[in-house]
Amino acid sequence: MSELMSQFITPQVQGAFTVLMVMVAAIYVLVVVWVARDAYQRGSLWWAWALVALIPVVGVIAYLLLRPSLLQVDRSEQELEIALKQRELMKYGECANCGYPVEADYVVCPNCHQRLKNLCSNCGHALDPAWSVCPYCAKPVGGSSRRRSGSAPSRPRRTTPQSRSDGPQGRGQQEEQ
């Protein structure tokens, strides 16, 4: 049998076998490096996946089946696109009463005439129900003259009387000063 093996395993076959084994080893190392790099780009534990990929064939198949579907760059880009679309959709809403689509600056639902927002009694801008102060004219909302408390610095107050001192708005502004 050894004579048969010696006739079959010639120096040319041994050389071809050696080249084939070097190529398989190089591909194996490149696959492990690819798994580690791909796992890093996908935001996974790259070193853990590199260790798993060291298990021949099974480790790479496990990684291919369990890896995240998106690269981290693609995932963050997708999140930005979703946030942008949500911002665009925030311009529109639904009436709480009838579900009719309404724009963000509507004060009354055009379908059921339900009041959606309050109007500032001083400047007439639409106000969100959660606001306690009109952001356009700085007048407290809801008729109560709540003082602003916070660490934000207030504007310098004028000492001269205002030209609109008659009426409830003028008195309210003078009382704040």
Residue of 113, 114, 109 whose CA lies nearest to 93: 109
Helix, strand or coil, per DSSP, at residue 2: helix
- Residue 53: both structure tokens together: 């990929």
Per-residue pLDDT reduced to its tens digit, 7-22: 778 888 899 999 999 9
Residue 141: the pLDDT is: 82
8 A C-beta contact, residue 38 and residue 44? no
Per-residue pLDDT reduced to its tens digit, 82-134: 888 877 766 677 888 888 888 877 888 899 988 888 888 888 888 877 888 98
What is the residue-wise DSSP string for 21-74? HHHHHHHHHHHHHHHHHHHHHTTS-HHHHHHHHTSTTHHHHHHHHHS-SS-HHH
- Residue 74 φ then ψ, to 5°: -65, -35
Share above pLDDT 90 across residues of the chain, in percent, rounded to a whole number: 27
Judge residue 49's burial from the number of C-beta atoms within 10 Å of its C-beta, 0-12 exposed, 13-18 middle, 19 or more buried. buried
SS (H, E, C) 136-155: CCCCECCCCCCCCCCCCCCC
- Mean pLDDT of the region 27-33: 95
Q: What is the pTM of this model?
A: 0.44
Residue 51: the pLDDT is: 93
Residue 1: the pLDDT is: 65
Per-residue pLDDT reduced to its tens digit, 55-92: 989 999 999 899 888 888 888 999 999 888 877 766 67
Share above pLDDT 70 across residues of the chain, in percent, rounded to a whole number: 78
Rg (CA), the chain: 36
Burial 24-41 (b: 16+ CB within 10 A, else e): eeeeeeebbeebbebbbe
